[in-house]
């Protein structure tokens, strides 16, 4: 019996030694949180850029969805057991919805495109508030969303903790600033959409008959001021809401009123900047009286937003463009717009922690 006990003890010691060898550098007790710490490598420009983003913004950036493994234990066979940490695009606040949607992703491998993607990530973070920063950012070359609705190319996917950018190779360098701001607005929109009760209140303020209509349906007696070379344009639409008209003074030089213009307060002849600004305010009041803040960007300036989703998107763009004081001044003549704004403002500021 004594010999048998000694033999059993020797076998146990041998198993323990083998298990230690199989661990091969994996340190027990290291948690997943350490996998999200980016280490510097001054000799690797890509790794160094990842480190700079991490130290500046506190956001770890990855090129792979599997970011590491953690040693858990040695099983009964003497094999090391690991848990793998991955960036799951299906993970939401309430859990995983991986059964309904899957993603087909191509990883970044080209060094130049990896660096360009890191530059874009930096522009995004510079133009976003910390409350919008993800726990982790995954940069990919291509991404397709596969669902029962078909295949959709995805540039951005925002989930409870993680954020993914893709197709950055298709962006021109001069477009990256505008694109990053668009991605920021998309993140806000996706987060706001989680507050269904508040959004129902926002949407229910407007009758569905207002959507996807020509503006002149609501203002048949209005006429627009027109360019000298566009004298045939008579039916009203809110051209001053188009950003280029607001920012580029060259568009203001040749304005004159249509002969049968119903509001005689608008002068004929070439307008001053002040006169254009006054008319822009007048147009915002007409648009705001219906509860909208802009026209449908896909359907053309002559139509109202085609659905509630576009309507929400246009509100968020306007809200992210102007701070609270500027927004309230800009739409002070439109009580309905202000009421709808306050619903979204309370979500963005109080729930998401984003200051406007």
- pLDDT of the chain, 356 residues: tens digit per residue: 545 555 555 554 555 444 444 433 333 444 555 778 899 999 999 999 999 999 999 999 999 887 767 777 877 788 887 776 677 666 443 344 445 678 888 999 999 999 999 999 999 999 998 888 998 999 999 999 888 888 999 999 887 678 999 999 999 999 999 999 989 888 988 889 889 999 999 999 999 999 999 999 999 877 766 554 444 556 777 877 765 555 555 555 555 555 444 556 666 666 777 877 888 888 899 999 999 999 998 877 889 999 999 999 999 999 988 999 999 999 999 999 999 999 999 999 888 888 87
Threshold 0.85, pTM exceeds? no
DSSP helix/strand/coil, 256: strand
Query: How distant is the alpha carbon of residue 44 from its chain centre?
Result: 30
Give dist(CA 33, CA 47) in Å, integer: 19
DSSP helix/strand/coil, 134: coil
Residue 154 · residue 145 · CB < 8 Å: yes
Residue 333 has, within 13 A of its CA and on its CB side, a CA count of 11
The 10 Å CB-count burial string (b at 16+, else e) for 146-176 is eeeeeeeebbbbbbeebbbbbbbeebeeeeb
Task: Name the DSSP letter for residue 160.
Answer: S
Cβ–Cβ contacts within 10 Å for residue 118, how many?
22
């Amino acid at each position: 019996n004594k010999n048998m006990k000694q033999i059993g003890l020797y076998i146990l010691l041998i198993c323990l030694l083998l298990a230690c060898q199989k661990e091969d550098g994996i340190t027990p007790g290291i948690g997943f949180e350490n996998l999200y710490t980016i280490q510097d490598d001054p000799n690797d420009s890509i790794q160094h850029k990842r480190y700079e983003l991490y130290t500046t913004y506190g956001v770890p950036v990855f090129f792979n969805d599997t970011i590491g493994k953690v040693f858990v234990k040695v099983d009964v066979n003497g094999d090391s057991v690991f848990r793998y940490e991955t960036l799951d695009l299906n993970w939401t606040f309430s859990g995983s919805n991986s059964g309904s949607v899957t993603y087909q992703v191509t990883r970044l491998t080209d060094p130049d495109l990896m660096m360009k993607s890191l530059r874009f990530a930096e522009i995004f973070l510079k133009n976003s508030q910390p409350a919008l920063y993800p726990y982790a950012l995954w940069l990919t070359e291509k991404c397709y969303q596969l669902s029962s609705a078909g295949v959709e190319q995805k540039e951005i996917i925002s989930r409870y903790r993680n954020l993914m950018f893709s197709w950055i190779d298709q962006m021109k360098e001069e477009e990256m600033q505008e694109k990053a701001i668009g991605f920021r607005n998309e993140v806000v929109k996706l987060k706001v959409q989680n507050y269904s009760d508040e959004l129902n209140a926002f949407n229910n303020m407007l009758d569905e008959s207002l959507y996807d209509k020509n503006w002149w349906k609501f203002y048949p007696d209005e006429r627009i001021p027109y360019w000298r070379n566009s004298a045939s344009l008579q039916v009203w639409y809110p051209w001053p809401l188009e950003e280029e008209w607001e920012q580029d003074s060259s568009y203001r030089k040749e304005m004159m009123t249509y002969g049968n213009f119903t509001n005689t307060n608008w002068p004929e002849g070439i307008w001053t900047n002040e006169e254009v600004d006054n008319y822009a305010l007048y147009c915002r009041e007409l648009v705001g009286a219906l509860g909208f803040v802009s026209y449908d960007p896909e359907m053309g300036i002559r139509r109202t937003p085609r659905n509630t989703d576009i309507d929400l998107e246009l509100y968020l763009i306007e809200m992210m463009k102007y701070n609270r004081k500027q927004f309230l001044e800009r739409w002070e003549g439109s009580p309905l717009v202000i009421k709808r704004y306050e619903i979204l403002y309370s979500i963005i500021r109080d729930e998401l922690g984003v200051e406007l």
